[in-house]
Structure 1
Amino acid sequence: GVRMHSDKAETEPAVFAMLRISQSGLDEQAHHTCPAAPSTSPKWNEEISLPIRDLREAQLECTLWDANAKNHPSNFLGGVVLNLSKLIPYEGQYIEQVFDIMWDKAFKSEKTPSGKLKMGLHLDSPLVRGALKNQNTAQEAPDPPPRRLRILRAGGKWTVTQEQ
């Protein structure tokens, strides 16, 4: 499992996830889970709902961090990027998906995490956009609120290897 090495002893990370939707090159506000209890298999039973303006261009970015190693380069544990257009066939349904955790080389560390992240996802069904007519004025109704992606459950299991 994940073991973060310090000068004195090995510790298991208190992992939290940072989630954001990236659309058309713009990052939305990040949402954080609470840190899970220190473990190599953290679980978050939190529901996070994120707005999506353009499903075909949007990506879900989920990065994992160790709350026990704040302000230390080794607190980044890896991440996942999901092109949300892949969820179109499943809109309105709850699905669970397992992703490989990827390492970002921009983070310098002698340790390299690897493993899996499982997320429960629900893409809300779209409302009819712009097709409703106001019967009195025959003008298009304003666009409804954006779709929402709900992350209902998440957890992971991974290891960290020391580079030689």
Structure 2
Amino acid sequence: MQTIDLTPVYRTMVGFDRVASMIDAASRLDGSQGYPPYNIEKTGDNDFRIELAVAGFGEEDLDIETKEGVLTVTGKTGATEDGEKREFLHRGIAERSFIRRFQLADHVVVNGAELRNGLLRIELQRQLPEAMKPRKIAIGGHSKVEQPKVIEGNKNVA
């Protein structure tokens, strides 16, 4: 059994660390033994990318779904295109169905997905509500206190 040290992920991905711990826990319980292999990459301050190596799968074989903070990627294999039975001398490319789940951090949404050269790239973005974004607070000194401005109106009010 492999043990993966996710300490560097915890240090660099604030708000996404819960995902890493859940992925680690799920990989120990999941019988798929890490298939398909994947990367989680931080591409910006609030942008992330998940890459899955899905060689042999086409767009019609893959399904991506988010529900209640869980991103689920499903790959289904079908019969060979020409319907004939294939005989392998060595089979190194796994062509089996899979389900891979990722627990998304709060306020992380999926922006899109792309399949190119056997890699499925899923773009994620953390969208914090305005109330949760950091604000710069000015430090006030001993400046003059401004008097409230009085607006004079028409004295003849009907």
Interval containing the TM-score (normalised by the shorter chain): under 0.3
TM-score after normalising by structure 2: 0.24
- Which of the pair has more CA radius of gyration? 2
Please identify which structure carries the higher helix content.
Answer: 2
TM-score after normalising by structure 1: 0.23
Please identify which structure carries the higher strand content.
Answer: 1
